[in-house]
Amino acid sequence: MSKFVVGLRGGIGTGKSTVSELFADAGIVVADADISARTVVEPGKPAYEAIVERFGESVVQKDGTLDRPVLRELVFSDNDHRLFVEKQTHSSIVEDLLNITSSADSDYAILVLSTGIGRNPMMHRLLVVDAPLENQISRVMQRDNNTHEQVAAILRAQPDRKARMTDADDVIINDGEQHELALEVQKLHQLYLALSTGGN
């Protein structure tokens, strides 16, 4: 893969999606692991079949698609369930992300990774988006209509903030207004353009 790839990570509710949208608005191709994760569990795909076989019809909506909130609750309440779903989906997600980043027609690509820590061999640089814990909780409660306890369970299953920051080349603390976030992204966009074309 010759394309310059910037990994983008952040815990739930940090504003990672907003940051990726700002890069997309600047004309940068974005490969999002969450979107790829939805694609690989569409009805008829192997991961879908394995998940339904394990969890039963309770995770299937009337239209035949997976009921993501129900599955999320199962996955984040039991580590064995989470590991099973990850095993079923991981290689297909990676393949989809590789296809998107390697065929990107922008000067660099953004690779949005849901969770995890450390560097990924697909990326040349790592940007981490962070936010104060209370901001994360309130954003997720509002966005997903989750209870405080549900959000806390999801946060417990994710790497802690210190671990996420360890390998970051760049960090955005998303604790301000939208226009401040846009300015931060614009600065990084200029840096990544320079790096992707061999400039300094």
Q: For residue 93, give the CATH number of its domain.
A: 3.40.50.300
Question: Whole-number mean pLDDT of the chain?
Answer: 88
Task: Average the pLDDT over 85-109 and give the result.
Answer: 92
Which of 21-25, 79-83, 91-95, 116-120 is the most confident on average?
A: 21-25
Q: What is the mean pLDDT of residues 4-26?
A: 92
Are 25 and 163 in contact, with CB atoms under 8 Å apart? no
Query: Between 146 and 188, whose confidence is greater?
Result: 188
The 10s digit of each residue's pLDDT in 30-71 is 999 889 989 999 999 999 999 999 999 999 999 999 998 899
Phi, psi angles (nearest 5°) of residue 117: -135, 170
Model pLDDT, residue 107: 95
Residue pair 20/127 in contact by the 8 Å Cβ criterion: no
Residue 120 has pLDDT above 80, yes or no: no
Kindly indicate the confidence band of residue 190, based on its pLDDT and cuts at 50, 70 and 90.
very high
CA distances from 162 to 29, 43, 116, 130 (A): 28, 37, 12, 10
Q: Count the domains in the chain.
A: 1
| Average pLDDT score over residue span 70-82 | 90
Residues 6+ apart with CB under 8 A from 27: 106
Which pLDDT value is given to residue 131?
87
Confidence band, pLDDT 50/70/90 cuts, at residue 139: confident
Domain that holds residue 120: 4-196
